[in-house]
Amino acid sequence: MSNNTLGRHFCITSFGESHGEHVGVIIDGCIPGLQLDLKYIQYELDRRKPGQSNITTSRKEDDSFRITSGIFKGITTGAPICILIPNQNARPNDYDHLKDVYRPSHADFTYEKKYGIRDYAGGGRSSARITAGWVAAGAIAKMILQEKFSVDIQAYVKQIHSVSCPDSLPVSKEAIEASIVRCPDPDAAKQMIAAIESAKEQGDSLGGIVRCSIQHSPVGVGEPVFQKLQAQLAHAMMSINASKGVQFGSGFDSVLKKGSELNDAWTIENGQPKTQTNNSGGIQGGISNGMDIYFDVAFKPTATINHEQDTLNKDLEPVKLSATGRHDPCVVPRAVSIVEAMAALVMVDNLLHRL
């Protein structure tokens, strides 16, 4: 019932603010006896961290982390794991001009009305900075998925503004990480980077689509009728800042096909049941069917832009806002690691009891 806790078995509790001492996460329910690969956790944090390239925000954070509980001589004990990620480059005073004004399409107005008080330093709790904790927890989830279940999770940028990545290409982690935009198609990646750079120059921002696939999932993941796998994944994805929609398998395009065109016929391949197509996205009746699970998450352009905008202040008077502060012209390349982390958290939450 804790609103900042996700998961039912491998539970993460998120805490911290953008410009406070640290952001962090408690993981409750991690298996004991796990040797944590600290370098891998840092690798995942580095994929999310700000300042990693010229198409991300210029805020500089190492996102180095500290584990302060739940391990004994480097091994997990089954006790809650506390991970702290200090805010090193916090500049709370950069935001004093936002104290009394509501930025358009931000959480300023709603947080203030809901809680009666607003931490305006970099958005406080509403900042995507807190997803650093989620990514750290997700890294541990991925370790468990890989070591114990051989499940692999992989996301990439499928679209930035009007530039799409062709669907058919085979995707490797190397191809994804080869470009700073995390699109595995080199040509599309180049165009995406150019589009982001151009938006940045104009003080504007772009959105995009992340595609995520979960490979080698065992059959049987998902709990009808109210914890179907797609419901859990949708919940997790719609928890990510700036996400606007999610679709599974053939998604919204399913509408344009007839049943006879969309149904996934069962067949046998190397003695294993497979579907000839995978419009189901690996999920049938809310339960994984053994095929690759895949889905798309849409992200809107960053709300913070360097344009003058119409808005209101606390007294509900119209004012013009020209935002300063540091921000991303496009969050989508960094969102790749967050989408993967959330998918890993959902999967491990469902698989843990099989150990």
Q: For a second copy, which is the closer residue by CB, 174 or 268?
A: 268
Q: Would you tell me the crossing angle of helices 38-48 and 131-149 to the nearest 10 degrees?
A: 130
Instruction: Give least dist CB 26 to a second copy, A.
Output: 5
Q: Would you tell me the crossing angle of helices 332-351 and 131-149 to the nearest 10 degrees?
A: 50
Instruction: Give least dist CB 220 to a second copy, A.
Output: 4
Does residue 179 bind a second copy (CB under 8 A)?
no
Q: For a second copy, which is the closer residue by CB, 107 or 212?
A: 107
User: In which element (H, E) is residue 48 found?
Assistant: helix 38-48
Q: How far apart are CA 278 and CA 335, in angstroms?
A: 25
Give the residue, chosen from 59, 129, 142, 161, that forms a contact with a second copy under the rule CB under 8 A.
161
Q: Could you say which residues in the range 250-289 bind a second copy, by CB under 8 A?
A: 250-252, 254-260, 262-268, 271, 273, 275-276, 279-280, 284-289
Backbone torsions φ then ψ of 321, nearest 5 degrees: -120, 130
Give the residue, chosen from 39, 116, 174, 270, that forms a contact with a second copy under the rule CB under 8 A.
116
Give the residue, chosen from 52, 89, 105, 146, that forms a contact with a second copy under the rule CB under 8 A.
105
Cis status, amide bond into 225, omega within 30 of 0: yes
Please choose, out of 53-61, 73-81, 169-177, 178-186, the segment that lies near a second copy by the rule CB under 8 A. Answer: 73-81
Q: Name residues whose C-beta falls within 8 Å of residue 337's C-beta, 6 or more positions apart in sequence.
A: 44, 47, 48, 135, 138, 155
Give the residue, chosen from 36, 214, 303, 348, that forms a contact with a second copy under the rule CB under 8 A.
303
Q: Could you say which residues in the range 312-331 bind a second copy, by CB under 8 A?
A: 312, 316, 318
Whether residue 249 contacts residue 293, with contact meaning beta carbons closer than 8 Å, is answered with no
Does residue 89 bind a second copy (CB under 8 A)?
no
Q: For a second copy, which is the closer residue by CB, 43 or 238?
A: 238
Q: Could you say which residues in the range 16-55 bind a second copy, by CB under 8 A?
A: 16-17, 20-24, 26, 28-29, 32-33
Structure tokens at 174: 């190397």
Backbone torsions φ then ψ of 308, nearest 5 degrees: -75, 130
Structure tokens at 271: 């003695």
Whether residue 8 contacts residue 16, with contact meaning beta carbons closer than 8 Å, is answered with no
Collapsed DSSP state (helix, strand, coil) of residue 114: helix
Structure tokens at 152: 């692999």
Does residue 305 bind a second copy (CB under 8 A)?
yes
Q: For a second copy, which is the closer residue by CB, 172 or 267?
A: 267
Give the residue, chosen from 162, 172, 322, 324, that forms a contact with a second copy under the rule CB under 8 A.
162
Give the residue, chosen from 302, 337, 344, 351, that forms a contact with a second copy under the rule CB under 8 A.
302
